[in-house]
């Protein structure tokens, strides 16, 4: 890869001014991405992640022939179909009912446990009274 980058630097000398600037910028981006990739592979972090992402996007655009000035389309927002919405609502209601049932059974178990503790304490007090 290093040899390819050096060849690109030498090839830039044969370009006209405008073409040379763009060619050199792309070569610089390639070198920086190569270094950043080595950092990531070595478990280091990248200092400026936004610049890294911008370089990656620029290289991807150039590789697939998309203009650097072309805007990114907004992601469409899809509304769920009526059936999907009803199913989601039904699932949420069932989950809420299950939680209520679980809470109720946990409360009953806690009450039963405290009742048995009180009964044991009462029976222990009665034995002391008899002595």
Instruction: Identify the DSSP state of 47.
Output: S
pLDDT digits (tens, 9 = 90+) for 64-91: 888 877 887 777 787 766 677 677 777 8
91-120: per-residue pLDDT in tens?
Answer: 878 877 777 777 665 555 555 555 555 555
With both helix axes pointing from N to C terminus, report the angle between 17-41 and 2-12 in degrees, rounded to the nearest 10. 160
pTM of the prediction?
0.45
């Amino acid at each position: 890869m290093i040899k390819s980058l050096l060849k690109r630097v030498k090839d830039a000398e044969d370009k006209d001014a405008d073409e040379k600037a763009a060619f050199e910028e792309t070569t610089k981006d390639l070198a920086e991405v190569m270094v950043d990739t080595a950092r990531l592979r070595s478990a280091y972090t990248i200092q400026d992640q936004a610049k890294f992402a911008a370089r990656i996007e620029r290289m991807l655009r150039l590789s697939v022939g998309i203009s650097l000035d072309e805007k990114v389309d907004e992601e469409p927002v899809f509304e769920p179909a009526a059936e999907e919405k009803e199913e989601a609502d039904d699932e949420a209601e069932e989950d809420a009912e299950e939680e209520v049932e679980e809470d109720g059974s946990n409360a009953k178990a806690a009450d039963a446990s405290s009742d048995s503790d009180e009964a044991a304490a009462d029976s222990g007090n009665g034995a002391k009274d008899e002595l």
